[in-house]
């Protein structure tokens, strides 16, 4: 358990960090609630003050409008009455003439009271309750029940009275439109306003009473979607009460509570997660160290293999050459050998050549690679190699289709790349002794050129396909198992990749991807 021991002090640190984070967020949570409450209350107070200002302005405007209307009516009706008095002094009006004059002047009715009698038009417009109005008042009177304004002036001829009237319907409608009730109704229709009304100070609750000219008092009623902020403010002799929708505020408060609970859960989960991540990080670090040690061991093995291959080349190839020369001399000088002995010599010669081939492959695999950097066309290399295998493919019934010319030109070592493609073509031919096909294709991407070779005759499975590039692993009855390993080292020395994949119908697909940019020189492996 040595790998867990370094993590033990971190558990206490995790617990402290979690506790501190929860306390910080708790303080932040209460601060958020306070800030949200203050902000919303300030918003409601601003609304109420704005409503109060609008009511004050509307009341002043309504009073001024009423005074202006009465002044205009006084002037208009007074002028009309005096004009009627002047005309009546010239020639007394009849009822029909007064009715016609009233229609032309836009009046509801005209009444002329003389000592000799009363003339009016149209008939029946004069209210009975107006009989008590003294003519000497010389002022405007409003009879709301009869919907008219009446103005009376004494007659200049003496002893008489001129009374004119005008309908009040449009004037009342105008006053209603600009009145306080209309304003309150319009404000109540605004978004976010639930109700607005006035309460007498004497009937108001003690909590709602407020001294004059103070900031509106806000309190909350209801919950959830029905939550309302009730604001009260003294306005004159009444208490202005405004209900502002607070459902969004309630939702925000609920959201803050949920966020706090969620954060607490997340913090606890993160504490467990961090512990798991620390443990995983340590394990990953150990795995990385182990991989580094394995890579170092492989490098040491390659270095040892390089030294061993040099010794093998020197110590084994010389005896092999001597044996090969002895066998050749026996073939030439021993004419009395029987056919059986001749066959034996041929078998020994083939064994010597195979041994020499294995030694050469071992040497090529172990030697350091230093590719030459010059322009090369993979398509031309593939075509040159196919020329060498044309007769073998024809003899084995292997159809070769496609080309690698679409790969274009890149920078690399033509000899090493030719060895890669020759190895792949050779393996494809040897894998199909009973006939088959070899499909070649190529394409370019912005970063690399890809050459694909696909052939039949492979039914070993995906796991075997992935191991084909391991050194000394082979599916052939004869072979060193270094061909594809050497090809992989050459491609990697060029900064590229080689991928083997089994595709349906017992086929093997090999993709060789080479970078278009000039690769960095390969590091020497002379160790």
pLDDT at 36: 79
- Say how far apart CA 254 and CA 248 lie, in whole Å: 10
Which single residue is written with the structure tokens 């064994």? 351
Helix (H) or strand (E) holding 527: none
The beta strand positions in 81-227, using DSSP E, are: 109-113, 118-121, 140-143, 148-154, 161-167, 193-200, 217-221
User: CA–CA separation, 167 vs 148, rounded Å?
Assistant: 4
At residue 525, the pLDDT reads: 38
Q: How many Cα atoms within 13 Å fall on the side-chain side of residue 142?
A: 11
Q: Which fold has domain 368-515?
A: Heat Shock Protein 90 (3.30.565)
- pLDDT of amino acid 301: 66
Helix (H, G, I), strand (E, B) or coil at 157: coil
384-388 contacts: CB < 8 A, separation 24 or more?
Answer: 384/418, 385/418, 385/421, 385/422, 385/425, 386/425, 388/422
Where are the domains positioned within the chain?
1-183, 191-245, 271-343, 368-515
Per-residue pLDDT of the chain (527 residues; tens, 9 = 90+): 344 444 455 556 666 777 888 788 788 888 888 887 887 777 777 777 777 676 667 666 767 777 787 788 888 888 888 888 888 878 888 888 888 888 888 888 888 888 778 888 888 888 877 777 777 666 788 887 778 888 888 887 767 888 888 887 777 777 666 666 666 666 666 666 777 767 777 554 444 444 455 677 777 777 777 778 777 777 767 777 777 777 777 777 777 888 888 878 887 787 778 777 767 777 787 888 888 887 787 667 666 666 666 666 656 666 766 676 776 666 676 666 677 777 776 677 666 666 666 666 666 655 666 788 889 998 888 898 888 888 888 888 889 898 888 888 889 888 888 888 888 888 888 888 888 888 999 999 988 999 999 988 776 666 666 677 676 556 555 555 677 777 888 888 888 998 888 888 778 888 999 998 654 554 443 43
> Which H or E run contains 497?
strand 497-503
pLDDT of residue 3: 42
Other C-beta atoms lying within 10 Å of the C-beta of residue 183: 20
- Angle, to 10 degrees, between the axis of helix 247-333 and the axis of helix 339-366? 140
Answer yes or no: are the C-beta atoms of 425 and 437 closer than 8 Å: no
Architecture of domain 1-183: 2-Layer Sandwich (3.30)
C-beta of residue 129 within 8 angstroms of C-beta of residue 154? no
8 A C-beta contact, residue 444 and residue 512: no
State the DSSP H helix or E strand holding residue 500, giving kind and residue range, or none if neither. strand 497-503
> What pLDDT digit, counting tens, does each position of 264-309 carry?
888 778 777 877 776 777 778 788 888 888 778 766 766 666 666 6
Tell me, what DSSP letter sits at residue 236?
T
Res 6: pLDDT: 46
β-bridge partners, 121: 110
**DSSP string of 429-460?**
HHT-TT-EEEEEEEEE-SSEEEEEEEEE---S
Give me the chain's average pLDDT, please: 75
Tell me what pLDDT residue 253 has: 79
Residue appearing with tokens 């030439």: 332
**What does 356-398 look like in DSSP terms, one character per residue?**
HHHHHHHHHHHS------EEE-HHHHHHHHHHHTHHHHHHHTE
Is residue 500 a contact partner of residue 468, using CB atoms and an 8 Å limit?
yes
Q: Could you tell me the two tokens for 135?
A: 């003519």
∠ CA 191-194-200, nearest 5°, is 135
The span from the CA of 376 to the CA of 417, in Å, is 9
- Residues whose CB is less than 8 angstroms from the CB of residue 334 and which lie 6 or more positions away in sequence, other chains included: 341
In DSSP terms, which residues pair with 448 in a beta bridge?
515
The HSE-up count of residue 350 (CA atoms within 13 Å, CB side) is 6
């Amino acid at each position: 358990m040595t790998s867990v021991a370094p993590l033990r002090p971190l558990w206490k640190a995790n617990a402290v960090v979690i506790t501190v984070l929860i306390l910080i967020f708790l303080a932040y949570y209460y601060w958020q609630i306070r800030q949200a409450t203050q902000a919303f209350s300030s918003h409601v107070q601003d609304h109420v003050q704005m409503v109060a200002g609008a009511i004050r302005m509307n009341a002043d405007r309504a009073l001024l409008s009423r005074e202006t209307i009465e002044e205009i009516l006084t002037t208009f009706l007074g002028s009309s009455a005096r004009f009627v008095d002047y005309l009546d002094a010239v020639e007394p009006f009849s009822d029909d003439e007064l009715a016609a004059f009233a229609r032309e002047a836009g009046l509801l009715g005209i009444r002329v009271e003389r000592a000799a009698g009363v003339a009016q038009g149209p008939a029946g417009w004069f209210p009975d309750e107006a009989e008590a109005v003294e003519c000497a008042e010389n002022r405007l009177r409003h009879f709301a029940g009869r919907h008219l304004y009446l103005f009376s002036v004494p007659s200049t001829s003496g002893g008489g009275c001129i009374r004119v009237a005008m309908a009040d319907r449009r004037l009342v409608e105008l006053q209603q439109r600009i009145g306080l009730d209309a304003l309150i109704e319009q404000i109540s229709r605004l978004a976010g306003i639930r109700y607005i009304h006035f309460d007498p100070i004497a009937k108001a609750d003690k909590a709602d009473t407020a001294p004059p000219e103070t900031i509106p008092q806000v309190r909350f009623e209801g919950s959830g979607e029905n939550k309302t902020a009730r604001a009260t403010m003294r306005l004159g002799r009444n208490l202005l009460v405004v209900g502002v929708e607070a459902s969004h505020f309630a939702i925000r408060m609920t959201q803050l509570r949920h966020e706090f609970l969620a954060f607490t859960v997340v913090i606890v989960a993160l504490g467990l997660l961090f512990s798991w991540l620390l443990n995983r990080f340590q394990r990953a670090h150990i795995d990385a160290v182990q991989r580094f040690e394995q890579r170092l061991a492989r490098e040491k093995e390659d270095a040892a293999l390089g030294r061993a291959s040099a010794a093998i080349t020197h110590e084994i190839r010389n005896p092999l050459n001597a044996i090969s020369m002895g066998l050749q001399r026996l073939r030439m000088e021993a004419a009395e050998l029987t056919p059986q002995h001749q066959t034996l010599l041929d078998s020994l010669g083939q064994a010597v050549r195979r041994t020499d081939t294995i030694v050469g492959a071992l040497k090529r695999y172990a030697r350091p690679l230093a590719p030459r950097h010059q322009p090369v066309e993979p398509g031309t290399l593939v075509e040159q190699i196919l020329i060498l295998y044309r007769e073998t493919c024809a003899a084995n019934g292997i159809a070769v289709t496609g080309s690698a010319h679409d790969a274009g030109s890149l920078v690399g070592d033509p000899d090493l790349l030719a060895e890669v493609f020759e190895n792949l073509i050779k393996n494809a031919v040897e894998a199909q002794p009973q006939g088959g096909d070899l499909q070649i294709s190529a394409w370019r991407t912005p970063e690399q050129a890809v050459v694909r070779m696909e052939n039949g005759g492979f039914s070993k499975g995906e796991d075997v396909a992935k191991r084909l590039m391991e050194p000394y692993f082979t599916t052939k009855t004869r072979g060193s198992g270094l061909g594809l390993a050497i090809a992989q080292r050459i491609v990697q020395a060029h900064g590229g990749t080689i991928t083997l994949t089994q595709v349906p119908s017992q086929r093997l697909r090999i993709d060789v991807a080479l970078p278009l940019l000039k690769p960095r020189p390969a590091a020497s492996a002379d160790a």
